[in-house]
Amino acid sequence: MAAPSAACGKMAAFRLEQGEDAFRKIFRFYRSRSPPPDLSGVIEFSRGHPGVGEVTAALLNTSAVSDSDARQAGLQPLDQWKAYRLDGYPGFIFISNPFLPGWQHRWVRQCLKVFPKKPNICNLDLHMSPEQTADLWESSKEQLRSQKSLLEKLRWVTLGYHYNWDTKKYTPERRSIFPKDLAELSRCVSQACGFSSFQPEAGILNYYHMDSSLGIHVDESEPDQCSPLLSFSFGQSCIYLLGGLSRELAPTPMMMHSGDIMIMAGPSRLFYHAVPRILPFPGGGILPPSLSEPPSEKPLAASPPLLQPCSAQDWDVCAQYLRHSRINMTVRQVLEGGASFPVEEDTCHQQTPASKGDTYHLDETELAMEDQGEQLLPKRVKTT
């Protein structure tokens, strides 16, 4: 069970109004623009959080991935990784940007140029024809600055087993090949963390702007809830809230920066979490330091790397996008090894609800409606 952190101790002292849960109270605190929230209680893994005792070093399985395999996947040798655990959150691991220089650029390019393409599915497919969404990159790269580009309207992309936002289920029919590059990166990370049998089968990519939030939810749609969930972040930073099994438990706030990786495993796999706020990287640059230098196009190593370098032209587009955006990739195993999908009871009476669009990714207008009492709970919010 999650113990409140030093920061949350402070928050827990906030008087809860009737009908409001502790998680929501803290979500609203960090989302607030006026007054802006006090960030002093937010854990900064990259700086070694000042809060005593709650953050400890995580031991990794450094022999699970050789230095050359790590390099091929764009990662530093495992003995250089800075990995942490958090007291009260068993199974949670935070890795501070283990990417080699130039590799985050490649993943950002994949997220903007490659992964939104068919057969993968994105939010724009709910309203537009497949022809219109066939190549968001090509149709957007000239107009990114105008805020009218399709890439700027991209909120999510699903990979592998495509998550259905209406039924909240995965099904064997809605499946495409999981990208090999992301599968390989995920295997390296999961093996380093001791999960040697992890199978990357589904991905949800979330695209955030400076006024976006991600509602309070638990990732519980995967029939296999024992395998870890991996999360990779690029671009602008965010406050991430990690709670417990109930919304009555106050969550711990932590900063996630570009290149950081989280592993939700064990009990933490089913803990409530949310992203109330996107923030510029502290220090004032347009892009975080790890992305400020354009990628160098080094000659290829003897054996081909997982991803080709990001070209200067592609990086111009990505950098333009990332000035005001954060991208997060989560990778999940859907089925336990060898298992098949659970048989649905009463399938003949089941109806797919008419799509109400996406109420999971919230922007300023939607959040204001929510504040005024209109019931706009994100679909993956479990009301307890």
Ligand X SMILES: O=C(O)CCC(=O)C(=O)O
Binding site for ligand X (CB under 6 A): 204, 206, 214, 219, 231, 233, 240, 273, 275, 328, 330
Contact between 231 and 262 under an 8 Å Cβ cutoff? The reply is: yes
273 is in an annotated binding site: yes
The residue of the chain with the least Cβ separation from ligand X equals: 328
Q: How far is the CB of 79 from ligand X (least distance, A)?
A: 26
Q: How far is the CB of 56 from ligand X (least distance, A)?
A: 22
199 binds, among ligand X, Fe ion, none (CB under 5 to 8 A by kind): none
Q: How far is the CB of 311 from Fe ion (least distance, A)?
A: 32
By CB under 5 A, is residue 222 in contact with Fe ion? no
206 binds, among ligand X, Fe ion, none (CB under 5 to 8 A by kind): ligand X
Instruction: Name which of 262 and 335 has its Cβ closer to Fe ion.
Output: 262
- Please list, residue by residue across 239-256, b when 16 or more beta carbons sit within 10 angstroms of its beta carbon and e when fewer do: bbbbbbeebebbbbbbbb
136 binds, among ligand X, Fe ion, none (CB under 5 to 8 A by kind): none
SS3 314: helix
**The one segment of 41-49, 217-225, 236-244, 276-284 that binds Fe ion by CB under 5 A:** 217-225
Instruction: Name residue, tokens 């004032």.
Output: 284
Instruction: Report which of 178, 179, 200, 176 is spatially closest to residue 188, judged by C-alpha positions.
Output: 200
Amino acid at position 13, single letter? A
Question: Exactly one of 21, 54, 152, 219 binds Fe ion (CB under 5 A); which one?
Answer: 219
Q: How far is the CB of 219 from ligand X (least distance, A)?
A: 5
Instruction: Name which of 54 and 219 has its Cβ closer to ligand X.
Output: 219
151 binds, among Fe ion, ligand X, none (CB under 5 to 8 A by kind): none
Contact between 76 and 70 under an 8 Å Cβ cutoff? The reply is: yes
162 is in an annotated binding site: no
In angstroms, rounded to a whole number, what is the distance separating the alpha carbons of residues 202 and 306? 19
Task: Taking the CA atoms of 136, 318, 368 and 18 in sequence, report the sign of the dihedral they define.
Answer: positive
Q: What are the C-alpha distances in Å from 228 to residues 90, 222, 261, 313, 319?
A: 12, 11, 13, 36, 31
79 is in an annotated binding site: no
DSSP-derived pairing of the beta strands 55-57 and 121-122: unpaired
Annotated binding site: 217, 219, 273
Annotated binding site for Fe cation: 217, 219, 273
